């Protein structure tokens, strides 16, 4: 596709597009968002500190629950800090070559400080507090990604940073009530076009007025549609005569989540002072 429309790009990602109004169909902003993809291969060019600081500022313009502003962005700038964090993430080989790392922190400490400084009680010490700070951090992450991709950078989130929470807390000197929700690898992409990861069909994920549950047949259909696609944006490698057969999407997800992941997360969150009831 030489100059795809928004409808083309939606169809490419979801299999089918809704009726896209003409006024939206050529929007560069919407094309950029729907045509995006995570980037895990980077050009070695470093990302200038001013670029990261600008993107952090743009990202922190995101909406914030009750205007409490419970997300902080931590830019990893010192080579030693970078090396110590990357050493915790060696299971993800691509992270080693990531030029820049950014960590999105949920910060509920500040709210507690303000309650104290203003002589007010804090009767909201329960799950909602943990959740609000986490949601703020996730929204800032999404804004940062959109801003970075609009600026010609590639990124990939790294939830694996939560696999080593005590170590990350020590490296980044995080106080109680502050924790990393996710990190982000950032750099200039090695590929001109991102690979597009196909999503579930919109009739399974966009509901009108009431929830309609997905069926196993829907998942089967998605699995087979997805398996039949050449990864968009990736050129077939002529040397790759017999690519290894990959399991279907649902099979891969089910196998992955048949193993326990981060079962100690709740214990860590309680240890740093949150109440989760
Ligand atoms: C919160 C979050 C955490 C993620 N953590 C990782 C990670 O640790 N490693 C990784 O390679 N990708 C990670 N990803 C990227 C997803 O695998 C990716 O978004 C998904 O496969 C869809 O692909 P796309 O972003 O190219 O559309 C994460 C994404 C999100 C939103």
The three-state secondary structure class of 210 is strand
Probe ligand 1: pick from 95, 159, 265, max atoms within 8 Å of CB? 159
Q: Say how many Å lie between the CA of residue 160 and the centre of ligand 1.
A: 10
Residue nearest to atom 31 of ligand 1 (CA): 157
Can you read off the two tokens belonging to residue 104? 């999105």
Q: What is the pTM of this model?
A: 0.95
* Residue stretches of the chain with pLDDT short of 50: 233, 235-241
Place of tokens 């999503």: 199
49-192 is classed in which CATH architecture? 3-Layer(aba) Sandwich (3.40)
Q: What is the predicted pLDDT for the residue at 237? A: 47
Q: What is the pLDDT at residue 2?
A: 79
pLDDT of 95: 97
Q: Which residue do the tokens 């990736």 mark?
A: 234
Supply the pLDDT for residue 120. 98
The answer to whether the CB of 106 is under 6 A from ligand 1 is no
Measured by CA distance, the residue closest to atom 25 of ligand 1 is: 38
Would you give the DSSP letter of residue 185? E
Q: What is the dihedral of CA 48, 53, 88, 177, to 10 degrees?
A: 170
- Ligand 1 near 35 CB (within 6 A): no
At residue 238, the pLDDT reads 47
Q: Which atom of ligand 1 is nearest to the CA of 199?
A: 27
């Amino acid at each position: 596709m030489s100059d795809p429309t928004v409808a083309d790009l939606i169809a490419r990602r979801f299999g089918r597009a809704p009726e896209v109004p003409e006024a939206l169909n050529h929007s560069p902003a919407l094309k950029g968002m729907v045509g995006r993809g995570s980037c895990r291969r980077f050009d070695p060019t470093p990302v200038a500190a001013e670029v990261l600081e600008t993107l952090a500022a743009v990202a922190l313009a995101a909406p914030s629950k009750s205007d409490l502003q419970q997300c902080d962005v931590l830019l990893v700038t010192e080579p030693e800090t970078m090396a110590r964090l990357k050493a915790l993430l060696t299971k993800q080989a691509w992270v080693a070559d990531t030029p820049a790392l950014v960590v999105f922190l949920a910060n509920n400490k500040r709210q507690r400080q303000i309650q104290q400084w203003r002589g007010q009680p804090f009767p909201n010490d329960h799950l909602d507090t943990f959740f609000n700070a986490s949601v703020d951090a996730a929204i800032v992450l999404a804004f940062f990604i959109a801003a970075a991709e609009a600026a010609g950078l590639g990124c990939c989130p790294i939830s694996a940073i939560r696999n080593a929470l005590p170590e990350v807390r020590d490296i980044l000197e995080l106080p109680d009530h502050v924790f990393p929700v996710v990190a982000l690898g950032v750099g200039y992409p090695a590929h001109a076009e991102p690979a597009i990861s196909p999503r579930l069909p919109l009739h399974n994920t966009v509901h009108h007025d009431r929830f309609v549950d997905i069926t196993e047949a829907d998942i089967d259909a998605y699995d087979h549609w997805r398996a039949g696609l050449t990864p968009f944006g990736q050129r077939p490698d002529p040397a790759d005569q017999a690519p290894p057969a990959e399991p279907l999407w649902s099979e891969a997800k089910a196998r992955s989540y048949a193993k326990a992941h981060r079962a100690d997360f709740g214990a860590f969150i309680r240890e740093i002072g949150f109440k989760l009831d």
